[in-house]
């Protein structure tokens, strides 16, 4: 804000994030809150989705940089000031183009980010170069924010373990290695019965589609005790049965299973969240009057959500889900990818955990408030 008030009169001001929606949520909503910014909040004007904002009388361009194709958005601009939200989510080619656009004397670039892999290009080329390049680095943890309620801080800390605790609570740049769900405890997370008061709501059926690979569907329910339950699953492995099924056959067998889930009875889940790459299967489900929803396949965000639920003991798995249970315990990071600065799971025995992630992450708006009420 101080920079905008005194920014060079020539050149453009830009605010950049993964999408314009995240910029609005992460930046403009708090900036327009008088409780946080006082009188200055009344001098910040932005309509969600608009290409520009007006801050302290200056026009500011709002630009989403979701992938490498975003780079042309700033090509040819002359920039005097830029703010990049969550810079580690911005493509490197976009960032380099932005630097090349900042030719105005006195131009400044401000970036924020949560820690990532220590081999990430932003750490390698910039944060680790303090003293060698004209940059300043400031580090803060959740405990440094005086506006956060102490109870909220305590709850957030309790929801993270392992990799995500070190990154998002301690602020460390550490590599993803070893078990992904390191909070997983068979004695704590596996149940032999569902809550006595029952399942309040059958939220979703997560489906990881496979023809040569296993097809796995996981049924997710919200218990009356305000916990999530992977209550049952259905799996078909064509290699084991030596027979591949068609989309119509998968649909029929899955619907037959839902009509009488063992130990539960008939279930009609609110959502059927399907692997987004399984377009033909989704088409078949529509023909069969079972409306599918394309699963949100943000892998890291989905893994973090499941990990937080396990750490907070808010996600339990029924003992009948034997293949899913086996996969959760063996789900691991790809060490070779980590050396390249990439973060991804090993693509082996991951069909059940993917289905679980689809079911949970795609429907989080349905269950987040319910779980929070139980805290």
State the distance between the two ends of the chain, measured CA to CA, in whole angstroms. Answer: 36
User: Angle at Cα 273 formed by Cα 21 and Cα 270, nearest 5°?
Assistant: 100
7, with CB counted inside 10 A (0-12, 13-18, 19+), is buried
Q: pLDDT value at position 15?
A: 98
pLDDT of 202 strictly over 60: yes
Q: How confident is residue 147, by pLDDT bands cut at 50, 70 and 90?
A: confident
Q: What is the mean pLDDT of residues 263-290?
A: 97
Q: How confident is residue 338, by pLDDT bands cut at 50, 70 and 90?
A: confident
pLDDT of 230 strictly over 80: yes
Q: pLDDT value at position 130?
A: 93
Distance (Å, rounded) from C-alpha 337 to C-alpha 288?
40
pLDDT of 221 strictly over 60: yes
Distance (Å, rounded) from C-alpha 207 to C-alpha 209?
6
79-88, 133-142, 174-183, 258-267: least confident range? 174-183
Give me the residue spans of the domains in the chain: 2-113, 186-373
Q: What are the pLDDT digits (tens) for 244-253? A: 999 999 999 9
For 209-276, where are the E strands, in sequence order? 215-223, 228-236, 271-274
pLDDT of 47 strictly over 60: yes
Q: Between residues 271 and 158, which one has the greater pLDDT?
A: 271
Q: What is the mean pLDDT of residues 159-166?
A: 88
Q: pLDDT value at position 119?
A: 87
Q: pLDDT value at position 91?
A: 94
Q: Indicate the CATH number of 2-113 among 3.30.200.20, 3.40.50.2300, 3.40.50.300, 3.60.130.10.
A: 3.40.50.300
- Domain 186-373 in CATH 3.40.50.1370? The answer is no
Q: What is the mean pLDDT of residues 67-83?
A: 94
Q: What is the mean pLDDT of residues 289-296?
A: 96
Q: How confident is residue 169, by pLDDT bands cut at 50, 70 and 90?
A: very high
Q: pLDDT value at position 373?
A: 61
145, with CB counted inside 10 A (0-12, 13-18, 19+), is exposed
Q: What is the pTM of this model?
A: 0.79
């Amino acid at each position: 804000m101080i920079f905008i008030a005194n920014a060079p009169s020539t050149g453009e001001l830009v605010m950049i994030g993964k999408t314009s929606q995240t910029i609005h949520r992460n930046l403009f909503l708090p900036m327009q809150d008088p409780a946080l910014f006082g009188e200055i909040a009344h001098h910040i004007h932005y309509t969600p989705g608009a290409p520009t904002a007006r801050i302290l009388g200056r026009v500011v361009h709002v630009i989403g940089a979701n992938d490498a194709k975003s780079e042309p958005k700033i090509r040819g601009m002359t920039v005097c000031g830029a703010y990049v939200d969550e810079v580690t989510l911005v493509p490197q080619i976009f960032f380099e183009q932005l630097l090349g656009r900042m030719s105005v004397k006195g131009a400044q670039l401000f970036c924020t980010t949560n820690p990532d892999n220590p081999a990430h290009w932003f750490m390698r080329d910039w944060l680790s170069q303090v003293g060698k390049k004209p940059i300043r680095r400031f580090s803060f943890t959740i405990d440094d924010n005086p506006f956060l309620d102490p109870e909220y801080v305590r709850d957030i800390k309790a929801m993270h373990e392992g990799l995500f605790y070190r990154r998002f609570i301690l602020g460390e740049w550490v590599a993803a290695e070893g078990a992904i769900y390191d909070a997983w405890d068979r004695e704590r997370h596996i149940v032999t019965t569902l809550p006595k008061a029952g399942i309040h709501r059958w939220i979703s059926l997560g489906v990881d589609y496979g023809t040569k690979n296993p097809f796995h569907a996981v049924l997710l329910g919200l218990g009356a005790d305000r916990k999530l339950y992977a209550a049952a699953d259905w799996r078909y492995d064509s290699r084991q049965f030596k027979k591949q099924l068609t989309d119509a056959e998968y649909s029929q067998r899955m619907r037959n299973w839902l009509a009488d889930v063992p130990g539960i009875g008939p279930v009609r889940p609110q959502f059927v969240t399907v692997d987004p790459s399984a377009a033909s299967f989704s088409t078949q489900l529509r023909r069969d009057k079972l409306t599918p929803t394309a699963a949100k396949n943000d892998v890291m965000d989905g893994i973090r959500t499941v990990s937080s639920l396990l750490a907070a003991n808010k996600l339990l798995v029924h003992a009948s889900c034997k293949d899913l249970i086996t996969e959760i315990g063996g789900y691991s990071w790809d060490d070779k990818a980590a050396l390249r600065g990439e973060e991804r799971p090993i693509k082996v025995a991951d069909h059940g955990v993917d289905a679980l992630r689809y079911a949970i992450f795609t429907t989080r708006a349905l269950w987040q408030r319910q779980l929070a009420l139980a805290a």
